[in-house]
Amino acid sequence: MVAMMLPSASPMILTYTRVHQQRMAHGRAIAPTWCFIAGYLATWMGFGLLAAATQWGLQQSTLISSTMGKAGPSLGGGLLILAGSFQFSQLKRACLSKCRSPLSFLMTEWRDGTAGALTMGIRHGAYCIGCCWALMLLMFVGGVMSLAWMAALALLFLMEKLVPHAHHVSRLIGGLLIAAGLGILILSS
């Protein structure tokens, strides 16, 4: 999960590093970039633990296969519809706007020192989770052990954060996910 999300955080990490270098050049104390990254990774590791516990629970209830962690058609179709619907939500738009604008995030969320950098990393990670949690559920649709599926999701995250007019991309993705979910449910009934 961390490997999927770290590339999409690179604009924020690079912006933080640039601000760090500028502040150091002016003699202002600032926490190193790794403190920011540590906060970001800690947030995603927490989410990863929650996802692993969910996977274990779903395997125990036989809602997903134990080998690939792949959901059956009913759960898979439902997850696709849930993830697609979330793409249209106000929470998705609010969190995505924080993820897409690194400089704006740093200007509004700035905290000094090591604890401040860690806090900013945690807060940025929380916004990313708020933006991407529903799409992360799609790992259960394609299989949590599928590298191709994880790469496809990582590409979706990058597109949403880096492509101009990402809100249109999010809505297009949402519509496609809802259609796919409905298709799976109809075909499996």
pTM of the entire predicted model = 0.84
In this prediction, residues 23-30 reach a mean pLDDT of 70
Token pair 């000094």 is found at 112
Concatenating the DSSP letter of every residue in 7-60 gives: GGGHHHHHHHHHHHHHHHHTT-----HHHHHHHHHHHHHHHHHHHHHHHHHHHH
Widest pairwise Cα distance in the chain: 66
In this prediction, residues 122-150 reach a mean pLDDT of 88
Percent of the chain surpassing pLDDT 90: 38
Per-residue pLDDT tens for 71-100?
Answer: 788 899 999 999 999 999 999 999 988 888
pLDDT at 23 over 90: no
pLDDT range class, residue 159, cuts 50, 70, 90: confident
Q: What does the alpha-carbon distance between residue 98 and residue 114 come to, in Å, rounded to a whole number?
A: 22
Q: What is the pLDDT of residue 68?
A: 65
In this prediction, residues 37-42 reach a mean pLDDT of 93
**Better pLDDT: 25 or 138:** 138
Token pair 């999960």 is found at 1
In this prediction, residues 116-121 reach a mean pLDDT of 93
In this prediction, residues 162-178 reach a mean pLDDT of 89
